[in-house]
């Protein structure tokens, strides 16, 4: 009996795709789970984008003018006020349409919520003994971590694509300078943030044996991460301390990049900075993840 | 023997700086042998196996598996071993075949080779019919067999089985033993298994090591260990209750000890099957009539109790282990998660 024939074609990444595919299969082979994970962001977008319509605050501003105002100047004043509120909207959100502003933010939101769960699966793998079995095979430790990251990335990107399609049906209006090539940039930015975020959540789970702990951590982090960014509201209107937090929060940079690519006129310098920040963020946390996997997966 | 498949020297593992789970153990397993690792809960069985399969780092000491050092050549070790953990690790959402192929991919076995091997293994464990069914629909015995197949996909030299029949009913357990024997015959590997079912160790293992409180208390072939207890036990009654024939029996060769209790004689003897007729002949020659007779061979249970004591274990087991064992038991009974 020899294992020689099994060792020939091995490359350092063997098993990475097999493990990633296992995660994905668990997802797409379960129609209920698949349906829910597509439905959830759509509901969120419908509710957030249409119910919490901050834009309406400005555009529905139609005060009754006092009777002393002469009839002949009334249309002028009304027009000026309407212009003013449009101007206010553009100044605040960078576009006349809050729904467009928000729906692009929801792309990041979906990525955040999907990647958050990537840590849970490693806790279950540990509890059910699967992790131990994988650790007793020659698969690289880093591949075990990266398979979790990659599957979370693929899932969140697919969900983001669905959101984007749905948002354009609901009235997302891209800027005049938008071209389909920009979409590549949008997904590149989402790719980087989802790598970084899932690496963080997996790192938190790497030693954990309790999924309850994971849930607590997720609940602690998710909404604060979301609200301390420009996902729903622009940061220049936030108090100073929150602005500082938001400027560190990588989610701010994805939103900035995706909004520039879809809604605004491109500012190449800012876009470059966004991508650099996201790239460093993704690189740092995956490196930490791979390094720690050597030390901490084996106890 | 050219070399030992497993060589363990002073292997030690301490948890949280004070809990000594495995305490300087030494043993070896020969090429082609089945060694059973026996011991009460919390004795250090799983800790030992986890160190040998390079999932847990030893605090002290060393071991060689297939000639490779578990500390320094862990990836070579992983290449030449197969592992069937205590838990059911097959993914319930995937089919049996997909699970085996996933294991093959973890060893980097090319798909054309792994497909062929998977089919062979499925045929051996008689799961070919169910290979495309989700594992969630499998019974406990089927899951165990699937785990065996997953562990053998890389044609290991040394096969580790951790509690291979935990939670299975008697029939399924016996069937699982047959599969283990069959696979051993087919692939001829060395097997290291832990168990706390004594009859399992007795049926399957060439040699047994009993571990308790992290130390190996005895090693030997099952027969040898039973012999070590002082031989078989025969009880005998004669018609004439008043007579004392202790001296007569004592003179028979291979009789080691005779005690008269309430009119019956309790005799410790070696090679019971051959010695018993000689005793009866000797008793008859003196003119007595034998009315009752029984012969019992010592079981491994007695060996086990001799070495590990009769007190129940109240040691706190890791919560985690209890949890996983509970899940394993439930799945063995075919319940869903």
Q: Which residue has the higher pLDDT, A98 or A137?
A: A137
> Which pLDDT belongs to residue B42?
80
Give pLDDT tens digits for B73-89. Answer: 988 999 999 999 888 88
- pLDDT bucket at A98, cuts 50 / 70 / 90: confident
Q: Could you give the CA distance from residue A148 to residue A20 in angstroms, rounded to a whole number?
A: 6
Among B57, B93, B108, the residue with its CB nearest the CB of A9 is: B108
- The pLDDT assigned to B321 comes to 67
* Side-chain-facing half-sphere of B3: CA atoms under 13 Å: 11
Q: How far is B294 from chain A, CA to nearest CA, in Å? A: 47
What's the pLDDT band for A244 if we cut at 50, 70, 90? very high
Does pLDDT of B41 surpass 90? no
> Could you give the 3-state DSSP secondary structure of residue A242?
helix
Check if B80 contacts A (Cβ < 8 Å). Answer: yes
Question: Is pLDDT of B314 > 60?
Answer: no
Rounded Cα gap, residues B197 and B150, in angstroms: 23
| pLDDT at res. B80 | 93
Predicted TM-score of the model (pTM) = 0.80
Taking contacts as CB-CB distances below 8 angstroms, the residues of chain B near A5 are 113
Compare CB distances from A1 to B85, B87, B155 and report the shortest one's residue. B155
Q: Which of A62, A57, A55 is nearest to A95 (CA)?
A: A55
Q: Reply yes or no on whether the pLDDT at B315 is more than 70.
A: no
pLDDT at B29 over 70: yes
pLDDT digits (tens, 9 = 90+) for B223-269: 888 877 777 888 888 888 788 888 888 888 888 888 887 778 888 88
Report chain A's mean pLDDT, rounded to a whole number: 85
pLDDT for A150? 93
What integer pLDDT is reported at residue B194 of this predicted model? 92
Position A60 confidence tier, pLDDT thresholds 50, 70, 90:
low
- pLDDT tens, residue by residue, B163-218: 888 878 888 888 888 888 888 888 889 999 998 888 888 889 999 999 988 999 99
Going by C-alpha positions, the residue among A289, A123, A112 that lies closest to residue A212 is A123
**Residue-level pLDDT at B313:** 63
Task: Give the separation between CA B218 and CA B209, rounded to whole angstroms.
Answer: 6
CB within 8 Å: B86 and A129: yes
Q: Point out the least confidently predicted range of A12-16, A151-155, B163-167.
A: A12-16
Distance CA B110, CA A25 (A): 21
Q: Give the residue-averaged pLDDT of A59-74.
A: 76
- pLDDT tens digits, residue range B277-295? 999 898 888 888 888 888 8
A31 to chain B, any CB pair closer than 8 A? The answer is: no
Judge: A26–B110 Cβ closer than 8 Å, yes or no.
Answer: no
Report the candidate in B169, B213, B295 with the shortest Cα–Cα distance to residue B44: B213
The string of pLDDT tens digits covering residues A126-148 is 888 888 889 999 998 889 989 99
Q: Do A6 and B98 touch (CB under 8 A)?
A: no
Confidence check: pLDDT of B92 > 70: yes
A30/B106 Cβ within 8 A: no
ipTM: 0.78
Residues 113-132 of A with CB under 8 A from B: 127-130, 132
User: How many angstroms separate the first and last alpha carbons of chain A?
Assistant: 31
- The secondary element (H helix, E strand) that includes residue A163 is helix A141-170
Contact A209/B at CB under 8 A: yes
Residues A162-193: tens digit of each pLDDT = 888 888 888 888 888 888 889 999 999 999 99
pLDDT at B91 over 60: yes
Phi/psi of residue B258, nearest 5 degrees: -130, 130
pLDDT in tens, A257-296: 999 999 988 889 999 999 999 999 999 999 998 888 877 7
- From chain B, pick out residues whose CB is under 8 angstroms from the CB of A26: 91, 93-94
The 10s digit of each residue's pLDDT in B104-157 is: 999 999 999 999 999 999 998 889 999 999 999 999 889 999 999 999 999 999
Work out the average pLDDT over A91-107. Answer: 84
| Beta strands per DSSP E along B108-189 | 158-162
d(CA A253, CA B228): 75
- Is there a contact between B174 and B144 (Cβ–Cβ < 8 Å)? no
Is a pLDDT exceeding 80 seen at residue B336? no
pLDDT at B11 > cutoff 70: yes
B241: phi then psi, degrees, rounded to nearest 5: -70, -25
Closest CA to A251 of A215, A276, A278: A278
pLDDT of A53 above 80 = no
Q: Give the residue, B318 or A259, on which the prediction is more confident.
A: A259
* Chain A residues within 8 A of B189 when measuring between CB atoms: 1
Residue A149 near residue A199 (C-beta atoms within 8 A): yes
- B93 and A30 in contact by Cβ < 8 A? yes
Rounded Cα distance, B121 and B117, in Å? 6
pLDDT score recorded for residue A2: 40
- Could you tell me which residues come within 8 angstroms of residue B177 by beta carbon, excluding any fewer than 6 positions away? B165, B200, B203, B204
Q: Can you tell me the distance from the alpha carbon of B203 to that of B178, in angstroms, rounded to the nearest whole number?
A: 10
């Amino acid at each position: 009996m020899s294992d020689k024939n099994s060792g020939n074609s091995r490359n350092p990444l063997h098993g990475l795709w097999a493990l990633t595919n296992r995660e994905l299969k668990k997802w797409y082979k379960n129609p209920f789970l698949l349906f829910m994970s597509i439905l959830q962001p759509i509901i969120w977008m419908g509710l957030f984008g249409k119910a919490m319509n901050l834009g309406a605050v400005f555009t529905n501003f139609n005060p009754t003018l006092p009777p002393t105002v002469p009839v002949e100047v009334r249309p002028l004043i009304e027009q000026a006020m309407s212009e003013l509120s449009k101007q206010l909207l553009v100044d605040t959100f960078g576009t006349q349409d809050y729904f467009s502003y928000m729906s692009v933010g929801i792309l990041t939101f979906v990525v955040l919520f999907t990647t958050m769960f990537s840590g849970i699966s490693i806790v279950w793998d540990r509890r059910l003994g699967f992790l131990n079995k994988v650790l007793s095979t020659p698969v690289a430790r880093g591949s075990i971590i990266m398979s979790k990251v990659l599957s979370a990335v693929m899932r969140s990107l697919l969900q983001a694509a669905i959101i984007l399609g749905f948002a354009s049906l609901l009235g997302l209006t891209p800027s005049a300078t938008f071209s389909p090539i920009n979409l590549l940039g949008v997904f590149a930015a989402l790719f980087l943030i989802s790598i970084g975020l899932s690496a963080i959540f997996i790192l938190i789970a790497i030693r954990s044996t309790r999924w309850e702990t994971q849930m607590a951590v997720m609940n602690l982090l998710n909404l604060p991460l979301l609200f301390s960014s420009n996902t729903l509201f622009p940061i220049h209107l936030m108090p100073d301390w929150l602005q500082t937090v938001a400027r560190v929060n990588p989610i701010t940079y994805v939103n900035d990049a995706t909004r520039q690519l879809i809604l605004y006129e491109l500012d190449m310098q800012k876009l470059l900075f966004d991508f650099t920040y996201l790239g460093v963020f993704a690189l740092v946390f995956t490196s930490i993840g791979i390094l720690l996997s050597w030390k901490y997966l084996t106890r | 023997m050219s070399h030992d498949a497993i060589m363990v020297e002073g292997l030690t593992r301490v948890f949280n700086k004070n809990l000594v789970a495995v305490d300087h153990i030494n043993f070896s397993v020969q090429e082609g042998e089945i060694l059973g690792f026996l011991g009460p809960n919390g004795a250090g069985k799983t800790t030992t196996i986890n160190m040998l399969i390079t999932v847990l780092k030893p605090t002290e000491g060393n071991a060689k598996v297939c000639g490779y050092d578990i500390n320094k050549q862990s990836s070579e070790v992983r290449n030449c071993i197969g592992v069937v953990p205590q838990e059911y690790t097959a993914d319930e959402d995937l089919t049996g075949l997909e699970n085996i192929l996933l294991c093959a991919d973890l060893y980097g076995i090319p798909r054309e080779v792994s497909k062929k091997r998977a089919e062979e293994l499925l045929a051996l464990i008689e799961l070919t019919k169910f290979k495309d069914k989700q594992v969630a629909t499998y019974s406990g015995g089927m899951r165990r067999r699937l785990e065996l197949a997953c562990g053998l996909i890389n044609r290991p030299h040394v096969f580790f089985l951790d509690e291979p029949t935990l939670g299975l009913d008697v029939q399924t357990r016996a069937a699982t033993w047959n599969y283990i024997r069959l696979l051993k015959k087919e692939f001829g590997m060395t097997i290291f298994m832990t168990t706390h079912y004594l009859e399992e160790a007795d049926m399957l293992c060439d040699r047994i090591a009993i571990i308790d409180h992290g130390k190996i208390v005895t090693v030997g072939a099952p027969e040898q260990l039973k012999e070590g207890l002082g031989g078989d036990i025969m009880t005998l009654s004669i018609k004439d209750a008043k007579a004392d024939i202790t001296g007569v029996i004592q003179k028979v060769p291979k009789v080691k000890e005779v005690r008269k209790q309430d009119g019956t004689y309790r005799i410790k003897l070696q090679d019971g099957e051959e010695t018993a007729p000689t005793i009866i002949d000797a008793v008859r020659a003196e003119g007595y009539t034998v009315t009752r007779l029984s012969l019992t061979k010592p079981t491994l249970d007695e060996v086990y109790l001799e070495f590990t004591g009769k007190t129940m274990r109240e040691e706190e087991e890791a919560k985690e282990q209890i949890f996983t064992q509970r899940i394993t038991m439930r799945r063995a009974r075919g319940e869903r998660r």
